[in-house]
Amino acid sequence: MDITYNEWNMGYIYLQDNYCCDEGETAFKRINSTLTADNKLSEQLNKLNWADKKYVEAKNKDFIEEFQNDLADDLSIKGIEFEMKSKKFKKLIDSYQIKSFKFRDNQYYCICFAPEAEIFEPKNYIYAFSEEENSFAIFKLKAENNYNIAFFKALIFSEESSYNIDYFKTLNRF
């Protein structure tokens, strides 16, 4: 997986492997990540708020994004833009995990970009990307003035989705 940043302290997480990278960004290897099984993950997901709208339907109506999340042709998120201050970035890297679990009688994966306590907080929302409901994102919604800001916490997808589990096994920071 690729993560980039620039001199303006803006970062970008590439969630799909055919989109990286922009000119002017620096590259170096970070870690190889292992896949761990988590049999309790589906229980944790059931405690979260499952939105009744797809992500693309809720975006800019029920919430705004922290910065800009880019969508692929199938309406899944292909990239997340975020402010990359060193403390926040270190937390993201330290929290990075890949988990496998059974859900709805299929093999699913959870890519964690925050500590588990932040991801599985009961106030968080899960949004599906498509009618097939084979990929989802977990967001923390933070109320500010008269709107909610969505902060990306985790990606969940099945083997039938547009995401490739092998892409997430090596984390590259740019």
Instruction: For residue 53, give its domain range.
Output: 2-169
Q: Which of 16-20, 36-40, 94-98, 127-131 has the highest mean pLDDT?
A: 127-131
Question: If you write DSSP's letter for every residue of 15-49 in order, what string do you get?
Answer: -STTS---TT---EEEEE--EEE-TTHHHHHHTSE
Does residue 134 surpass a pLDDT of 80?
Answer: yes
Does residue 29 surpass a pLDDT of 70?
Answer: no
Whose tokens are 């990286």? That residue is: 20
pLDDT at 81: 85
pLDDT at 8: 76
pLDDT at 169: 83
Cα(83)–Cα(50) distance, integer angstroms = 27
* 108 in Cβ contact with 134 (< 8 Å): no
Percent above pLDDT 90 for the chain = 43
* 78 in Cβ contact with 70 (< 8 Å): yes
Cα(107)–Cα(105) distance, integer angstroms = 7
Q: How many domains would you assign to the chain? A: 1
- The answer to whether residue 45 sits within a structural domain is yes
Tens of pLDDT along 39-92? 889 899 999 999 999 999 999 999 999 888 888 888 888 888 888 777 777 777
Cα angle for residues 108, 172, 39 (degrees, 5° grid): 25
Does residue 161 surpass a pLDDT of 80?
Answer: yes
Cα(39)–Cα(160) distance, integer angstroms = 20
- The answer to whether residue 99 sits within a structural domain is yes
- 54: which 2 tokens? 């797809």
In this structure, which amino acid lies at residue 38? D
**Span of 76-85, 92-101, 114-123, 164-173 with lowest mean pLDDT:** 164-173
- The answer to whether residue 174 sits within a structural domain is no
C-beta pairs of 92-97 under 8 Å, 24+ apart in sequence: 92/3, 93/30, 93/31, 93/171, 93/173, 96/31, 96/33, 96/171, 97/33, 97/36
- 67: which 2 tokens? 């910065």
Cα(111)–Cα(35) distance, integer angstroms = 10
